[in-house]
Amino acid sequence: MKAAIVAVGSELLGPSRLDTNSLWLAGKLDEAGIPVVRKACVGDDAGAIAAEIREASRRAPIVVVTGGLGPTADDLTREAVGEFSGRPSAIDPGILEEIRGRFARRGIAMPAINEKQALVVEGTRPLRNPRGSAPGIWLETEEGIVACLPGVPSEMKRMFEELVFPEIVRRFAAPPRSRRVLKIAAMGESAVEERVGPVYAKWSAHAFTILASVGEVQLHLVAAGAPEVAARLLDAQTEDFERALPGRIYGRDDDTLESVVGARLRDLGATLATAESCTGGLIAQRITDVPGSSDYFRGGVVAYANDVKTGALGVRPETLAAHGAVSEETAREMAEGARGKFGADFALSATGVAGPGGGTPEKPVGSVWIALAAKGRETRARFLRPPGDRATIRAWTASAALEMLRRTMAGADTD
């Protein structure tokens, strides 16, 4: 039971793009206990793609190919499958109709070049793509199967989950493994690592992975065995990690900090507003990334200019004059102003020096104040000093603000 992945696209061979689809695929295949034994990236050349499919099939019975199914002249995976299987292809009228329909629903005529997406190689089965115009290809070989999926991650993932994975599990499944991801926001990787060290030691026979991105640390847990057995093991490990990081694990698996915060606001029947300077709309954008956020998100102000802070948020000019825009006092007044203006139960604010310019000896780049105003409570403010560049400082600040709200709603008022 082994899999090989082939990623198609000349851009993946240059100096700036990596095949990240394979990470997700490796994770999914791993759930079925199927290891990926090799990966290859190949350019937009039908002969070369066919050679890679051939080589991959020699190495593993399960081959997943991503990319090269678009409508343009350099999308050549269909042609490669024809070359690999040695069979002719023809336009499938049903698929052509479906593609035409997709365009028609958007009120436009199908461009002529999209026609080739309806080409089907004899002996292969098209895989429906509910999110895009590129159908996938399912091909049975003597050695196993080849599944070709689009390179667009959202289309690839959905088609793999709905059409390819169940079929692979049915045919090849080895004993399953369960995974769980525990997520921590606005805490550094080494700080997390230090606290969870004893848990690692206790469960030393198990493999944990710690993964850090800006403003978030993830603990990846894996357990083999039947789902109930594995779940019990993961529960026991989770308990230990929660004890090592009290109140700091905000969610698991597909949770995002904003989805967890949103769900809690909904439970409380509470509303939220934002007042952002250095984050420039990032906090509001993350909150509204969550479908249904209009249930609890009232709105926000991006107050970039100082007179917007006074005019739109009611920050007092004297506060700005005495303490500056990046100060505890300004952060507090921004949050309180947004709460009042939008009539919300909670309001988050952020003001800081995101850089690269604008730093001073007293307030160097990376100096940030966040505040949380809450109905019936005292406004709280926190100073942050995230390291890194402009994008990192902004992202970390947004996470820290959302985490401040989450912890407050969870009753963990102090840090």
Q: By CB under 8 A, what part of segment 390-409 binds a copy of itself?
A: 390-392, 394
Q: How many residues does the chain have?
A: 415
Nearer to a copy of itself, 102 or 363 (CB): 102
Who's near 77: CB < 8 A, 6+ residues apart?
A: 8, 49, 65, 67, 68, 69, 137, 148
Near a copy of itself by CB under 8 A: residue from 1, 46, 59, 177: 59
Residue 183: exposure state from Cβ atoms within 10 A (0-12, 13-18, ≥19): buried
Provide, rounded to whole angstroms, the least separation between the CB of residue 105 and a copy of itself. Answer: 9
Q: Which span sits near a copy of itself by CB under 8 A: 240-248, 350-358, 369-377, 401-409?
A: 350-358
For residue 211, what are the CA distances in angstroms to 31, 58, 237? 18, 33, 17
Sign of CA dihedral 244, 245, 247, 249: negative
Residues 221-260 interacting with a copy of itself (rule: CB under 8 A): none
CA distance 268 to 266: 5
Quick one: which of 92, 42, 36 has its CA closest to 67?
Answer: 42
Smallest gap from Cβ 294 to a copy of itself, in A, equals 5
The answer to whether 145 contacts a copy of itself (rule: CB under 8 A) is no
CB contact at 8 A, 24 and 157: yes
Write down the least CB distance from residue 388 to a copy of itself, Å.
7
Rounded distance, CA 95 to CA 106, Å? 17
Please tell me whether residue 21 binds a copy of itself under the rule CB under 8 A: no
C-beta closer to a copy of itself: residue 263 or 302? 302
Stretch that binds a copy of itself, among 121-129, 170-178, 226-234, 308-316 (CB under 8 A): 308-316
203 touches a copy of itself by CB under 8 A:
no
| Count of residues in contact with a copy of itself, rule CB under 8 A | 103
Here's the x/- map for a copy of itself, 108-137, by CB under 8 A: it reads as ---xxxx----------------xx-----
Subset of 147-176 contacting a copy of itself (CB under 8 A): 154
Q: Which residues have C-beta within 8 Å of that of residue 243, sequence separation ≥ 6?
A: none
Q: Least distance in Å: CB of 162 to a copy of itself?
A: 15
Report the site for a copy of itself in 173-192 (rule: CB under 8 A): 189-191
- Which tokens hold the place of 348? 């988050």
CB under 8 A, 24+ apart: contacts of 221-228: 221/179, 221/180, 221/181, 221/182, 222/30, 222/177, 222/178, 222/179, 223/177, 223/178, 223/179, 223/180, 224/33, 224/175, 224/176, 224/177, 225/175, 225/176, 225/177, 225/178, 226/175, 226/176, 227/176, 227/178
382 binds a copy of itself (CB under 8 A): no
In the shown chain, the binding pattern of residues 83 to 112 toward a copy of itself, with x for contact by CB under 8 A and - for none, equals: -------------------x---xx---xx
Question: Which of 84, 160, 172, 297 contacts a copy of itself by CB under 8 A?
Answer: 297
Q: Which is nearer to a copy of itself, 82 or 355 (CB)?
A: 355
In the bound state with a copy of itself, the residue whose beta carbon lies nearer, of 19 and 329, is: 19
Q: In terms of CB distance, is 121 or 344 closer to a copy of itself?
A: 344
- Of 80, 21, 32, nearest to 56 by C-alpha is 80
Interface with a copy of itself (CB under 8 A), residue from 15, 88, 93, 361: 15
**In the complex, minimum distance from the CB of residue 268 to a copy of itself, in angstroms, rounded to a whole number:** 17
Give the contacts of 382 (CB within 8 A, at least 6 positions apart): 369, 370, 371, 400, 404, 415
Decide: 369 and 383 in contact? Cβ < 8 Å.
yes
Shortest CB 411 distance to a copy of itself, Å = 27
Chosen residue from 285, 323, 324, 363 binding a copy of itself by CB under 8 A: 285
Question: What distance in Å separates the CA atoms of residue 283 and residue 397, rounded to the nearest whole number?
Answer: 9
By beta-carbon proximity to a copy of itself, the closer residue of 109 and 321 is 109
Max Cα–Cα distance, the chain, nearest Å: 79
Considering only 176, 225, 281, 359, the residue that binds a copy of itself (CB under 8 A) is: 281
